[in-house]
């Protein structure tokens, strides 16, 4: 049994005029698609993230709330489990300000007091039903779904496929795919993945890893993994800091998850543990029903790349969260 598991969550309020002004000062004329303004949009749901943690994961040791210095006006910063973390607390000043989530997440292991075992959330990932320690770590080993995939793109300017290729150039440098699968066959080819296991079977003959499918759900990570990869590829990772916005030359914290998988340092977890949703008008009702029925323990509400009826969808989502998490948490200021 692990004594300490921390939660780490990143947050930004893209509507903040001070933040917008600073972003405009550093924003290049041509941005990769991963840095569109929609990526920074605050849906006003963060209080439900804290309510979900308090109600469904009361065992958490500490919560590290990472921002550029922004603080939600409703947040009780005096909560004993809460640690407020600014970017300049652990990111070198020459890379600040940064608007690049990859720069923010790749250095998380340098946050003072962070435990060896931690779970990384984005501000669009939520706990919506009871979870236990074993949903994230079993006997200190991270839980993960090891699903091989192929890097593809519909848009030549899409930065994400490039980033995945960068990650797996590192993975294939240090790991032999055949050896990884031989040593961990039971973790790659398991009934826990349901029909998704067929993907691993079909990709078995390929010589190298292309990528692992990422469900955009909370990630179970080890601080020591970050430290080890940084020791090996510090120069490459350091170079990402120069990209103030997402770039095709980036790497991501997904590299650390992939490293743990290739080491065999993970417990196979069912793919039905959580679900990734794209926020479109047509999908809103289905998403809200899933929240209200608590169909999944964790969910990701990924913002749309296209224009949507933001306020209408926001109200509908807030109503669904209010049904399952109506009580203010101790992480909220007393009114």
Return d(Cα 176, Cα 190) in angstroms, integer.
21
Residue keyed to tokens 């519909």: 154
pLDDT of 304 reads 63
pLDDT of 154 reads 81
Let me know if domain 5-324 sits in CATH 3.90.550. Answer: yes
pLDDT tens digits for range 268-303 = 999 999 999 988 767 889 999 999 999 999 999 987
Return d(Cα 242, Cα 250) in angstroms, integer.
10
> Residue 298 is inside which H or E element, if any?
strand 298-302
**Contact (Cβ atoms closer than 8 angstroms) between residue 279 and residue 308:** yes
- What phi, psi does 221 have (nearest 5°)? -135, 155
47-58: b or e for each residue (b if 16 or more CB lie within 10 Å)? bbbbbbbbbbbe
Q: Can you read off the two tokens belonging to residue 110?
A: 């340098």
pLDDT less than 50: residues of the chain: none
pLDDT of 126 reads 98
pLDDT of 36 reads 58
């Amino acid at each position: 049994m692990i004594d300490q598991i921390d939660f780490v969550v990143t947050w930004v309020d893209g509507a903040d005029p001070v933040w917008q002004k600073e972003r405009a000062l550093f924003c290049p004329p041509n941005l990769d698609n991963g840095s569109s303004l929609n990526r920074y949009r605050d849906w006003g749901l963060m209080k439900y993230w804290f309510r979900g943690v308090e109600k469904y994961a009361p065992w958490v040791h500490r919560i590290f709330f990472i921002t550029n210095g922004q603080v939600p006006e409703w947040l009780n910063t005096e909560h004993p489990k809460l640690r407020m973390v600014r970017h300049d607390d652990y990111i070198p000043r020459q890379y600040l300000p940064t608007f690049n989530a990859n720069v923010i997440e790749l250095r998380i292991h340098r946050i003072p007091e962070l435990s060896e075992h931690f779970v990384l959330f984005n501000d669009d990932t939520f706990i919506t039903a009871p979870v236990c320690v074993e949903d994230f770590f079993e006997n200190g080993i991270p839980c993960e779904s090891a699903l091989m995939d192929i890097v593809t793109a519909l848009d030549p300017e899409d930065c994400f496929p490039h980033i995945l290729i960068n990650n797996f150039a590192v993975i294939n440098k240090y790991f032999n795919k055949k050896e990884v699968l031989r040593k961990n066959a039971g973790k790659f080819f398991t009934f826990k993945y349901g029909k998704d296991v067929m993907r691993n079977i079909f990709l078995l003959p390929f010589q190298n890893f292309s990528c692992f499918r990422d469900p955009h759900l909370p990630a179970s990570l080890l601080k020591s993994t970050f430290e080890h990869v940084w020791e090996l590829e510090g120069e490459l990772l350091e170079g990402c800091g120069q990209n103030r916005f997402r770039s095709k030359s980036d790497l991501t914290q997904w590299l650390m998850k992939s490293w743990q998988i290739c080491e065999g340092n993970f417990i196979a977890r069912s793919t039905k543990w959580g679900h990734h949703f794209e926020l479109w008008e047509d999908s809103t009702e289905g998403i809200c029903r899933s929240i209200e029925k608590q169909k999944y323990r964790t969910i990701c509400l990924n913002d749309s790349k296209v224009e949507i009826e933001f306020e209408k969808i926001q109200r509908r989502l807030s109503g669904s969260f209010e049904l399952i998490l109506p009580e203010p948490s101790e992480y909220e200021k007393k009114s």
